[in-house]
Structure 1
Amino acid sequence: MKTSIATVCLAGTLEEKMQACARAGFDGIEIFEQDLVVSPSSPAEIKALAERLNLSLDLYQPFRDLEGVTEEVFQDNLRRLEATFQLMQQLGMDLILVPSNVATATVDDDAVVAEQLHRAAELAARYDMRIAYEALAWGTYVNTYWHSWELVQSANHPNLGVCLDSFHILSKNDDPSLIPEIPGEKIFFVQLADAPELGMDLLPWSRHHRVFPGEGSFAMFEFMAYLTQTGYQGPLSLEIFNDVFRETDPDITAVDGLRSLRWIQQGARGLLAKEHPFRQILTPMPKVDPIEVIDHIEISTDVPDRCGALLGSLGFTFVGQHRRKTAQLFVCGDVKVVLTPNRAEGTFITSVAVQVANSADALARAEALGATPVSRPVTADEARLKGVLGPGGMQVFFIDDAAAAWPEEFGYDATNQDNTSSHVRLDHLNVPEARDHFGASVLFTRALLRLEPLPSQDVASPRGLVHSQVLQSPDAGIRWVFNQVPPTYTNRTGEPVRYPGHIALAVEDIETRAQAAIDAGLVVLPIASNYYADLHARFGIDHETLQRWQSLGILYDRNAEGEFLHVYSETIGGLFIELVQRIGDYQDYGPGNAAVRLAAQDHYEQHHRTKR
C-alpha cells in the first residue's frame, strides 16, 4: 500500500522534513498546517519541492471546529474553509482533514451536524476537494469512529468520507471489529499511531506519547486486518505526536516510521486467510521463521587482555586468533564470543550473529525494514557473513549452513572442545540505547527476528529512570533486553557511554560456578549488606546461606513459577557479564535487582575512581 507520514511527526523545517521523508522512501506526506504557516517557502514552492522529491501531498490538516455550531459561527467556518481550499489549490492538494469539533461545538444534534457536513462537502466539490471527517477521542459530541461514519452516511455527499485513526479508536478501547462494515471507498484516509499504556487522560497521552506501530501496546495487526477487509486502497499514514521525535534527527524518525508501516502490513497479512481477496493489497516483506538461536557475539574492546582474562575466569576457552585478522575466538559451552581490539573506543557488544535457514532471505527482510547492509572484506576461502547495521549501531549477522564454518578460520575444532562447560548457554543480552533510537532499535529487532515483547518496566537508577523492554522468541531461545538510558549516562550526542550493557550466561550450579570463577580471578560486583538483610525479611532465607551468597555476590528472586539466582562481574568499559541460574519455570529477570545492581555499580565506580 502507499505509505505516507504527517510532517508533525518529524523535527526540523517543513523542507527538511520533506527531504527526510523522501530519503527514507515514503510515497507521500500529510502537511500539518503549522509547518506550512511558519515556512518561508510559498505553497507553490512546496508543491515544486514535493514534485522534485517524488512525494505526493496526500492530506492537508487539520481544519478544526467546523460542525455542531450555530448558523452564524458556521458561516464564518465556511469562509475559513473556502480560504483553505484556495490555499490547497496552490499546493496541488485535494483532501483536507476535518476532526470532530472540540472547542466551539454547542449543538448536540446529529441532523444539524450532518447538514453542516453536507454543506461543507458542497463547497469542497466546487473546488474539486474532498473532506475526510475524523472522530477525535475527546470530541465534544462526536468521539467514536462509528458515530462519524453515521454522520457521513446521513450527510450523503460524494466529496465527504471518514478518516480512521488507530489512536482515537484504540486509546478508548473502542471496538474496531465494525470497520469492515464501512465501504473502502468511503474511507478517505487512514492515520496510524500506537501508544504505550500510561494510564493518563486521552489528550496529553495523544499529544506527547504516541509512537509508531509496533512500539506501543495497541493491537495494531488486528486493526490493520480489519481495515484491509474494507478494500481500502488509499495511503497508510503515520500521525505521531511525540516529544522525543520532535528532538530527533528526522532521518532516524522517518526510517523508523516507514519500517513500522511495512511491519504492520506484514503482520496483518498473517491474520488474513491466503485466499482473502484484499490480502494482496498489503505490501509483503520477505518472510523468515522466528529466530531462536544466537550463533555468536562480537565484543569490541580497547583492553583485549583484560577482556580475555574475564572470559577465561568464567570458563571460556581461548580457541585462537583469526588467521588473517586480530580477532580472537573464545568458547564456553554453546556460547561463542569473538573479541576484536579497537583503539581507545571502550568495550561494548558490536555485533550479534543469529542462526537462520537462509541468510539471503534474512538480509532481504532486514533491507525491507530499512537497514543498511554491512560489508566486511573476506578472502575467497573465508565465510562471507551477510549482515546489517541496526538503528542503534549494533550490527546483526545471519549465519546459515553456507556460513556455519566460520569458526574454523580461528582454528576451531568442535570435536576437540572441553565438555566441562557444555551446560553453559546464553540466557539473554542486555544493551543500552540512546533515547532517540530506542524505539527504532526495539521495533527493528522485533520485526527482523520475529520476537515478541514482554511487558516493559521502568528501573530506578541512582542517575535517573531507565526504561527497559524485553523481546523474546517464541521458544525463549533469544531474550534481548533494550534499555533506554537517562541523559546522565550519555555523552553530548546522547549516546550511552556510562551505562553498561551485558551478556548473561545460564549455568546449572551458580554457587559452584561463581566460586570457581572467583578462584580463577573473577572480580564480582560487591552487593551491600542491606540487600541481604532485605532478602531475609522478604523470603526468610537463613543467615548462613545469605552470608555465602554475599561472599559470592549472588542476588536472588522468587515467584510462583520458580527461583532466580544471579551474579555480576565487574564492569570493563561499557560491558559486564552476568551468571544466572533459573530454577523451576522462572522466566523473569529479578525485578528490583536491576536497581540494586545499578546502585552497586555506581558506588563501585565512584570508589575505584577515588582510589585511582
Structure 2
Amino acid sequence: MRTSIATVSLSGSLTEKLAAASRAGFDGVEIFENDLLASPLGPEEIRARCEDLGLSIDLYQPMRDIEAVPEAEFVHNLRRARRKFELMRRLGTDTVLVCSSVSPLAEDDDALAADQLGQLADLAQEFGVRVAYEALAWGRHVSTYDHAWRIVEAAGHPALGTCLDSFHILSRGSDPKGIEDIPGEKIFFLQLADAPLLAMDVLQWSRHYRCFPGQGGFDVAGLVRHVLSAGYDGPLSLEVFNDVFRQAEAGPTAVDAHRSLLVLQETVGLSRLPAPVVPTGIAFAELVTPDAEPVSALLGALGFARTARHRSKPVDLWQQGEARILVNTGPAVRRDGTALAAIGLESPDPQGAARRAEALLAPVLPRRRAPEDAPLEAVAAPDGTELFFCAPTAPTAPTATTVTTAPELPGWRADFTDTTAQPPPGTGVHRIDHLALTQPWHHFDEATLFHRTVLGLDAQESVDVADPYGLLRSRAVTTPDGSVRIALSVGAAPTEDDTHAQHIALAARDLVAAARTFQERGGRLLRMPANYYDDLAARFDLTEGELETYQSLGILYDRDAGGEFRHCYTRTVGRVFFELVQRDGDYRGYGAQNAPVRLAAQRAAKLLTGG
C-alpha cells in the first residue's frame, strides 16, 4: 500500500522535508499550508521538486472554518477556497482537507453544514479537486467521525468524502468499528498518528504529543483494519504534531516514521517482512576506551578475569560466569572517554535477525575484519550503539584454574585466543542482568519502536524519574523471560552536561558479599545519603542489622508483589558505571523509585571529584 507523510511531521524547510521523506522511502506527502507559505519555491517548482524525488502530493491541508456559517461569511469562505483550488491545480494535487469548524460563528445545524459543504464541493469539482471532510476532536459542533460522515452522506456530492484521522477518533474513545459502514470510495483519505495515553486537554494532547504508530498507546492497527474492511485503497499517511520531532533532524525522523508504517502494514496483513528473531541472551557488552587501566582495575575488583584477546584487534575479553565484557582500545574511541559502544545479542538465527533489521531500515554496519574472523551481522541502533547478532556461546562455568583454549566455541568467541592468566576468585556475578542506554534527547520514541519491532522485545510502561536538574524518562524493553533487558532513558531536554551515563547491571547471587569483596579489592561504591535509609526503615520491615549493612555499602532496596531487589553502584569511569543487582522471587522492575536518590548521589560525586 502507498505510504505518505504530512510535512508538518518533520523539521526543517519544505525542501529539506521533501528530501527526507523521499530518502526514507515514502511514496507521497501531504503539503501543510504553513510549509508552502514559508517556502521560496513557487507551486510549480514544488511540484517539479516532488516529481524529481519520486513523491506524489497526496493532500493539501488544512482548510479551516468553512461550513455551517452565516451566508456572508460563507461567501467569503468560497472566495478563499477558489484561490486555494487554483493553487492546488498548480501544485498538481487533487485532494484538500477540510477540518470541522471551530469558529464561534459556526451554527449547530447539520443541514446547513451539508448544504455549504456541497456548494464547496461544486466549486472544487470545477478544478478537479476532491474535498475530504474531517472531524476535529475539538470541533465546535462536529467532533466525531460518524457525525462528519452523516453530514457528508446528507450532502450526497461525488466530490465530497470524509477524511479519517486515527488521533481524532481514538483520543475521544470512539468505536472505530462503525467505519466499516462507510463506503470505501467515500473515505477520501486516512491520516494516522499514535499518542501516549494522557489525561489532558485533547487539543494540547494533539498538538504536542502525537507520535508514530507503535510508539504510543492507541490501537492504530485495529482502526486500520476497520478502514481496510470498508474498502479504502488510498495511502496510509502520517500526520504527527510532536515538539521533539519538529526539533530533531528530519532524516532520522523520516526513517523512523516509515519504519512505523512498515510494521503497521505487517501487523494488519498488508505485507510480509522477515519474521522477528527474538534474542535469547546477551553475548557481550563492549566498552571502548582510550585508557584500559582504570577499566581493567574496575573489572578486576568486580571479579572479572581477562580470559582472552582478539586475534587481530586490540580487544580483550573479560569474563565472570556468563557475564562477558569486551574492552576495545582501538582507534574507534569516543572523544568523551570510556563508553558502551556495542552489544552482542545471542540469536537463534543471526542472519534472520539481520534480514529483519535491514528490512526495517536499520543501518547495516560494514565490518573491518580479517579473512579468518567470524562473520558477524551488525546494525546500528538509533543512538549509534552497534548491535551484533551472535550465535549462542557455549556455556562456561566459573573456574579458578588456568583458562585453556576451547576451539569448539562458536561464532564470535572463536576470534579470541585464550590467555593463560590465573583468574582471581569471582564475586558471585553470573550474568549481565540488564543494560541501560541513555538516548539522545530526540531519539527516545524512535529507540522504543526500534527495539520493539527490529529486535522483537516487549516494551514496558514508560516511567518518569525526578532528576536533580530535570526529569528523566525511562522505558525498559525485554524478552518475556528476562534473558535480555535494556533500559532506555532520556532527559527532558538536550544538555551539554549530561550526567546520565550508560551502565551495565551485573546479576550477583549474594549482593552483600559481592559488594564487600569489591570494596576489599579497592573498588569504590557510590554512597547514599543517610536520609534514604531513614525512609527505607519507615517503608519496609527489614531484619535486624540489614539496614545498617545496606547503609555501610550503599545498597538500595525495593520490593514489590513479585519479590525483592537489591542494588548498588560503582563510581563512573568516563561515561560508564556498573550496577550490582540481586533479584529475589519474581521482581521484574529496576528499582525506579530509588533512581532519584542514585542520580543525586552521582551528581554529588561528580561535583566532588570535578569529573
Unaligned runs of 5+ in 1: 270-281
Q: Which one-letter code corresponds to 2:283 in the other structure?
A: D
Q: 1: CA distance between counterparts of 2:303 and 2:273? A: 41
- Correspondence for 1:272: none
Q: Which one-letter code corresponds to 1:455 in the other structure?
A: E
Q: 1: CA distance between counterparts of 2:423 and 2:4? A: 54
Q: CA deviation at 1:412?
A: 4.7
Q: CA deviation at 1:490?
A: 3.0
Q: CA deviation at 1:114?
A: 1.7
SS at match of 2:433: strand
In structure 2, the CA distance between the partners of 1:383 and 1:602, relative to structure 1 (3 Å rule), is same
- Correspondence for 1:435: 441
Q: CA deviation at 1:540?
A: 3.3
Deviation string for 1:110-165 (max 9, x for gaps)?
22222222222222222111111111000111111111122222222222211111
Tell me the TM-score normalized by structure 1.
Answer: 0.92
Q: CA deviation at 1:458?
A: 1.0
Correspondence 1:582 to 2:587 = no
Q: 2: CA distance between counterparts of 1:512 and 1:531? A: 22
SS at match of 1:243: coil
Matches within 5 A, 1:282-301: 282-301=270-289
Q: CA deviation at 1:423?
A: 6.6
Matches within 5 A, 1:274-285: 282-285=270-273
- Correspondence for 1:553: 554
- Correspondence for 1:195: 195
- Correspondence for 2:311: 323
Q: 2: CA distance between counterparts of 1:21 and 1:289? A: 28
Correspondence 1:392 to 2:383 = yes
Deviation string for 1:368-393 (max 9, x for gaps)?
22221111122222111111112211
- Correspondence for 2:396: none
In structure 2, the CA distance between the partners of 1:187 and 1:105, relative to structure 1 (3 Å rule), is farther
Q: 1:445 aligns with which of 451, 461, 480?
A: 451
Kept after mapping to 2: 8 A contact 1:224/1:265: no
Kept after mapping to 2: 8 A contact 1:105/1:140: no
SS at match of 1:372: coil
Kept after mapping to 1: 8 A contact 2:433/2:506: yes
SS at match of 2:442: helix
Q: 1: CA distance between counterparts of 2:100 and 2:71? A: 17
Q: 2: CA distance between counterparts of 1:457 and 1:490? A: 23
- Correspondence for 1:275: none
- Correspondence for 1:366: 357
Kept after mapping to 2: 8 A contact 1:501/1:574: yes
Q: 1: CA distance between counterparts of 2:515 and 2:429? A: 15
Correspondence 1:79 to 2:79 = yes
Q: Which moved more, 1:129-138 or 1:241-250?
A: 241-250
- Correspondence for 2:398: none
Q: 1: CA distance between counterparts of 2:435 and 2:477? A: 10
- Correspondence for 2:120: 120
Q: 2: CA distance between counterparts of 1:417 and 1:169? A: 62
Deviation string for 1:175-213 (max 9, x for gaps)?
122223323222111111111223210111111111111
- Correspondence for 2:209: 209
Q: Which moved more, 1:42-51 or 1:188-197?
A: 188-197
Q: 2: CA distance between counterparts of 1:313 and 1:287? A: 42
Kept after mapping to 1: 8 A contact 2:118/2:156: yes
Q: Which one-letter code corresponds to 1:562 in the other structure?
A: G
In structure 2, the CA distance between the partners of 1:62 and 1:367, relative to structure 1 (3 Å rule), is same
Q: 1:336 aligns with which of 314, 320, 324?
A: 324
Q: Which one-letter code corresponds to 1:326 in the other structure?
A: P
Q: 2: CA distance between counterparts of 1:163 and 1:334? A: 55
- Correspondence for 1:158: 158
Q: 1: CA distance between counterparts of 2:170 and 2:481? A: 29
Q: Which one-letter code corresponds to 2:171 in the other structure?
A: S
- Correspondence for 2:515: 514
SS at match of 1:566: strand
Q: 2: CA distance between counterparts of 1:453 and 1:17? A: 30
Report which of the two has the higher share of helix: 1
- Correspondence for 1:142: 142
SS at match of 2:581: strand
Kept after mapping to 1: 8 A contact 2:306/2:317: yes
In structure 2, the CA distance between the partners of 1:514 and 1:23, relative to structure 1 (3 Å rule), is same
Q: Which one-letter code corresponds to 2:378 in the other structure?
A: G
Kept after mapping to 1: 8 A contact 2:100/2:142: yes
Q: CA deviation at 1:106?
A: 2.7
In structure 2, the CA distance between the partners of 1:77 and 1:193, relative to structure 1 (3 Å rule), is same
Q: CA deviation at 1:401?
A: 6.7
Q: 1: CA distance between counterparts of 2:387 and 2:106? A: 57
Q: CA deviation at 1:230?
A: 2.6
In structure 2, the CA distance between the partners of 1:180 and 1:335, relative to structure 1 (3 Å rule), is farther
SS at match of 2:524: coil
SS at match of 1:592: helix
Q: Which one-letter code corresponds to 2:326 in the other structure?
A: V
Q: 2: CA distance between counterparts of 1:605 and 1:343? A: 20
SS at match of 1:597: helix
SS at match of 1:131: strand
RMSD, matched Cα: 2.2
Q: 1: CA distance between counterparts of 2:173 and 2:608? A: 51
Q: 2: CA distance between counterparts of 1:419 and 1:563? A: 27
In structure 2, the CA distance between the partners of 1:145 and 1:95, relative to structure 1 (3 Å rule), is same
Matches within 5 A, 1:419-568: 424-487=430-493, 489-490=495-496, 496=498, 498-541=499-542, 544-568=545-569
Q: 2: CA distance between counterparts of 1:404 and 1:234? A: 49
Kept after mapping to 2: 8 A contact 1:387/1:396: yes
- Correspondence for 1:101: 101
Q: CA deviation at 1:531?
A: 0.8
Q: Which moved more, 1:64-73 or 1:354-363?
A: 354-363
Among the aligned pairs, what percent are the same residue? 45
SS at match of 1:58: strand
SS at match of 2:443: helix
- Correspondence for 1:279: none
Correspondence 1:349 to 2:340 = yes
Deviation string for 1:60-118 (max 9, x for gaps)?
00000111212222222122112111110000110000111112453212222222222
- Correspondence for 1:11: 11
Q: Which one-letter code corresponds to 1:111 in the other structure?
A: A
- Correspondence for 1:66: 66
Q: 2: CA distance between counterparts of 1:2 and 1:422? A: 55
Tell me the TM-score normalized by structure 2.
Answer: 0.92
- Structure 1 outlier segments of 4+, above 6 Å: 416-423
In structure 2, the CA distance between the partners of 1:399 and 1:183, relative to structure 1 (3 Å rule), is farther
Kept after mapping to 2: 8 A contact 1:319/1:410: no
Q: 2: CA distance between counterparts of 1:571 and 1:365? A: 35
Q: Which one-letter code corresponds to 2:88 in the other structure?
A: M
Q: CA deviation at 1:535?
A: 0.6
In structure 2, the CA distance between the partners of 1:524 and 1:197, relative to structure 1 (3 Å rule), is same
Kept after mapping to 2: 8 A contact 1:301/1:345: no
Q: Which one-letter code corresponds to 1:467 in the other structure?
A: R
Q: 1: CA distance between counterparts of 2:442 and 2:106? A: 42
Q: Which moved more, 1:402-411 or 1:24-33?
A: 402-411
Correspondence 1:252 to 2:252 = yes
Kept after mapping to 1: 8 A contact 2:277/2:353: no
- Correspondence for 1:309: 297
SS at match of 1:373: coil
Q: CA deviation at 1:294?
A: 2.0
